[in-house]
A and B are shown apart, each in its own frame.
Chain A
Amino acid sequence: MSLNVINNATCTFCGCVCDDIQLHFDETRIHEAKKACVLGKAWFLNHTADHEYPDALIDGHEATVDEAIEAAATFLHDAHMPLIYGLSNTTCEAQREAVSLADRLGGLLDSHTSL
């Protein structure tokens, strides 16, 4: 079995964000993460491309992403003081969208830094 290889991949498990990882992977999972530490290896090898979880849940029931997005927008719009929190295990591009959403909602915006 031949695996695809990415050189100098970036690990986002911890704040070190090591960018010299060599990933060996096939369609569904990463088989090897060279140069990564124990934490990084566990991070890369534990995720798969499988459809393990439902696309979306509303009140515990499976729903489509479209329905869930509409429900989320309604909850946030109806609130007097909505909160957007977290923003750590995600990309800067998503963080930027989250800031824009908090601005539009007139809500609270916060990250792990305040913990």
Chain B
Amino acid sequence: MYWGGNPAECHPRHFTKYTLMQKSKFLPRGRKDRTMILVDIRETKSGGAADIFLQIRPGKDFEVLTILRAILKGQHVNESAIAETGLTLEQLTDFIDRAKKAKFGCMFFGMGLSMTRGKHMNSAALLTLAAELNAFTKFVAMPMRGHGNVTGADVIMRWQTGFPFGITFNRGYPRYNPGEFSTVDVLVRGDTDAALILGADPGATMPQPAIDHLARIPTIVLDPKVTHTSRLARVHITTSVAGISAPGTAYRMDEIPLPLKPALKSPYPTDQEVVRRINEAVARKSHWIPDGGPMTILQR
């Protein structure tokens, strides 16, 4: 099942390489042994690959997911609530019947779910539905990751700090709170007073108030190209391209680490080398907590 995503255009090999076409021990007939359901607010190119397309009203993802959870638990659902979603009770019941009968279900969700009205509550509702389906059969859920190694960022931060994103070290230990420590919120509130940007171009993607704040503060950009963000930054350092001219590791969206095989030699240093050298240069300066570390402050 794909929800709020268009893999046919955004992840062109997702169907053929991973989800639909591959033949396997338990699904020897490949595509014929699988059912694909697409949920979106409009029919996209991915609709051509789907067995069932459920067109929901824009902004009603959370309602649809909550009704699906109610149907799964055999609870009564108000007819007017169903009418609001753009779907019929038959479609929703059929969805749940098929999900329960599946041997192994996988839900992939895109930014059509996670970036529209409801945002992370939508993702939470979908993850809860997937979790609750496990009372009947095996079900998992996975976000459709856009950028190359954003899954790696989650994995590395989880490994090093215990949290996947939205982290602060300002008490000397990692704390996690999306909304408070997530970048757009921090920038729009104007909380941060310097920024190091690598492997991203927020100058092209973030809301204008966030970009305005990046231009106000000293921003440092590491990127293979001079980007939108580089133009408003105080410092830009050109680095080599991961996977093309820089070696290393990248995580696939299902958290499989894969080695990179760069073909070209770059005249520029790697991100890894530059960040390591910045870290060493900072280490030569005084530590941000006075001598003795945080315990000294607490004891005073």
Contacts and interface: CB of A to CB of B under 8 A. Distances in A.
Interface in B194-215: 194-200, 202, 205-206
Interface residues of B, number: 108
Going nearest first, the 3 A-B pairs with the smallest beta carbon separation are A91-B248, A86-B200, A15-B145
Interface of B: 10-14, 17-18, 115, 144-157, 160-161, 164-172, 174, 178, 181-184, 186-187, 191-200, 202, 205-206, 217-218, 220, 224-226, 230, 233-238, 241-253, 256-261, 263-272, 274-279, 281-283, 285, 288-289
Interface residues of A, number: 89
- Residue among A6, A23, A55, A68 having the largest count of chain B Cβ atoms under 10 Å: A68
Nearest to A108: B168
Contacts of B285: 73-74, 77
B183 to A, nearest CB: 4
Given A71-B235, A76-B220, A112 B261 contact: no
A95 B272 CA distance: 8
B235 A56 contact: yes
Contacts of A13: 148
13 contacts: A6-B263, A12-B149, A15-B150, A15-B151, A58-B234, A79-B194, A84-B196, A87-B149, A88-B153, A101-B196, A110-B166, A112-B147, A113-B150
Contacts of B264: 25, 27-30, 47-49
A98 B282 CA distance: 12
A108 B186 contact: yes
Given A49-B267, A84-B196, A54 B238 contact: yes
Given A84-B196, A90-B149, A99-B161, A9 B261 contact: yes
Given A92-B156, A105-B169, A83 B183 contact: yes
Contacts, number: 345
Contact of B161 (A37, A65, A71, A109): A109
Given A17-B256, A18-B13, A23-B261, 9 more contacts: A27-B264, A30-B263, A56-B235, A69-B237, A83-B187, A85-B197, A86-B200, A86-B202, A90-B248
A12 B251 CA distance: 9
A85 B169 CA distance: 14
Contacts of A44: 244, 263
Nearest to B217: A79
B275 A75 contact: no
Contact of A15 (B144, B167, B172, B236): B144
A96 B219 CA distance: 20
B169 A106 contact: yes
A12 to B, nearest CB: 3
A80 B11 CA distance: 40
Contacts of A93: 248-249, 272
A15 B187 CA distance: 26
B248 to A, nearest CB: 3
B235 A58 contact: yes
B272 A17 contact: no
Contacts of A23: 261, 263
A22 B202 CA distance: 32
A113 to B, nearest CB: 4
B278 A37 contact: no
